[in-house]
Amino acid sequence: MTFLVGTRGSKLSLAQTNWVISELQKQNPGSEFEIKTITTKGDTDTRALFTIDQKGIFEKEIDKAVAEKQIDFAVHSLKDVPSDISKSLTIACVPKRESANDVLITKDGFNLKTIPLNAVVGTSSLRRAVQVSRIRPDVVVKPVRGNIETRINKVIDGKFDAIILAEAGISRLGLDVKHSVLSTKDFPPSPGQGALAIVCRADDDKTISMLKKIEDKKSRIEIEAERALSDYVESGCRFPVGALAIANSGMLKLTVTAYSVDGKKSITIEKTGDIDKPRNLGQDVGEELQKIGIAEIASNWRESLDEWNKK
């Protein structure tokens, strides 16, 4: 049987998809897979990501193709998949998660503490921009778009002194590039960072059964907690929240941090819950954030971004 697999045409997306196919072939010898690349709004809109007030800019067109039976399933970076995907679809599989850390890439091997005064650091993430400013307020943070290799080349060419990327992307592309790993304490990641989401039709039992063979239970538990938190506070590219769940020894711990516009104020909550009820833990942390001021922080971010977009 041949399965049609949808993904974006970037090198990273294709690398992720080929890895998924390789894992599926190990579990389903004899099955064949054909990749269909699909262009998304995120591929054609060159604006800084935080200025695009729309969810699912890297997955909407691909998941539409799944729903319309043009392809059998889609492979996404999980953090790109919004919570409100069509009810006709399901995240059928979460394979083993890669590192959730961010990394700093510089031409001369500096780390964030030793990088020169007033260095220019590139990132497409509001979360990372605020996190950098908290540690190095002198640094100039500028938006950067393009695939991973394009961003790295901007450092090599001297257009940026450094860039910040997800470690998982470098790993999946097999890039041999000098970098310093940023701690999740100072740089709590975007919910779902480092994980993949494989989406198919909710009524496609045969495909779901096949995909479940490469599901990683620990990874699924962790991202369920993170996504439940994200759903509750409505975080995303336009409102930076860092969240990381860790399942270990029968327990599940979720650490969440939200930041003010200027980075001077932050709210951090760490809570442990039932490993069998990860979404409950995410919702509980979301409720605590609401009680201690997340609404005010969110409002300030919206006002700031609205003013920025008017310029």
Q: What is the SS3 string spanning 234-255?
A: CCECCECEEEEEEEECCEEEEE
- Helix ranges, the chain (H): 11-27, 41-44, 60-67, 126-135, 148-156, 167-173, 205-211, 217-233, 278-291, 294-310
Q: Which domains does the chain have, with CATH numbers?
A: 1-95+196-215 (3.40.190.10), 102-182 (3.40.190.10), 216-311 (3.30.160.40)
Question: Could you give the CA distance from residue 239 to residue 298 in angstroms, rounded to a whole number?
Answer: 7
Q: Which of 63, 72, 80, 102 is catalytic?
A: 80
Q: Which of 50-64, 76-90, 179-193 has the lowest mean pLDDT?
A: 50-64
What value does the mean pLDDT take over residues 198-206? 97
- Tokens 């442990």 belong to which residue? 272
Nearest 5°: the CA angle 204, 27, 194 is 80
pLDDT above 90 for 233: no
Question: Could you give the CA distance from residue 288 to residue 112 in angstroms, rounded to a whole number?
Answer: 32
pLDDT for residue 166: 95
Long-range contacts of 61-65 (CB under 8 A, 24+ apart): 62/6, 62/7, 62/8, 62/38, 63/89, 63/199, 65/6, 65/36, 65/38
Cβ distance 236 to 192 under 8 Å?
no
**pTM above 0.75?**
yes
Verify whether residue 80 is a known catalytic residue: yes
Give the rounded distance of the alpha carbon of 32 from its chain centre. 29
Q: Which of 101-110, 120-129, 131-140, 285-294 has the lowest mean pLDDT?
A: 285-294
pLDDT above 60 for 51: no
Question: Could you give the CA distance from residue 85 to residue 81 in angstroms, rounded to a whole number?
Answer: 8
Going by the DSSP 8-state scheme, the letter that residue 43 receives in this structure is H
pLDDT above 80 for 197: yes
The SS3 of residue 200 is strand
pLDDT above 60 for 105: yes
